[in-house]
Amino acid sequence: MLETAFYAFVAFFVILDPPGTAAIFAAMTRNLAASHRRTMAVRATVIAGSVLFAFAVGGKALLAALGIGLPAFRVSGGTLLFLLAADMVFARQSGLRSTTPVENAEAAARDDITVFPLAFPLIAGPGAMTSVVLMMGRAGGDPWMSVVVLLVLALVMATVLAMLLAAGPILRILGVTGAHVVSRIFGIILAALAAQFIIDGLLQAMPGLASRAS
């Protein structure tokens, strides 16, 4: 159980990247009142957290309704997370987690970025949604393991909120370069996690691969 909790914490923390998200949030809201920033941070975390919890609880049922097996989702989800890791390592903006230049221009014209782009895609982006379904699948249907994954998700979301509320000091400490360095380190870890998801999916879909490898 502790291993599952640690694995889930690392996966969620790396994908959600609270320091990097806080730095982006601070840059986007530097001209807004502190009270408005706090309100947006709380609302965006609640909205994003609700979506992620919904995906965690109902993701497997949704896949079953679509006729998609968990092994296929592990391979496809791992591939998506690997692309996200590459974006983090090379500090690219592809829309998988960060906003694109066009979206940045649209966000700059808004006084309220609660839903877009803060809740989506900065917090609850495609990578985060994929990861919660994969981690619940890793729990293997064990109710206690599933509860552990959900508790860890809640803990990481609380960390995201705390860092959003302290976004100004975090940006001053890290700076743009520091935020990119943190994201690059997280990207390397995420690439390894993504590769493991792909390997697990392939082994589950084709058990013969395990015997050949051994």
How confident is the model over 36-75, as pLDDT tens digits? 999 999 999 999 999 999 999 999 899 999 999 989 999 9
Report pTM.
0.86
pLDDT, average across residues 75-94: 86
H-state helical runs in the chain = 2-16, 18-28, 34-65, 70-89, 101-108, 126-138, 143-165, 167-205, 208-213
Nearest-CA neighbor of 197 among 127, 149, 138, 152? 138
Tell me the residue type at 44.
A
Q: Return the domain boundaries, the chain.
A: 2-213
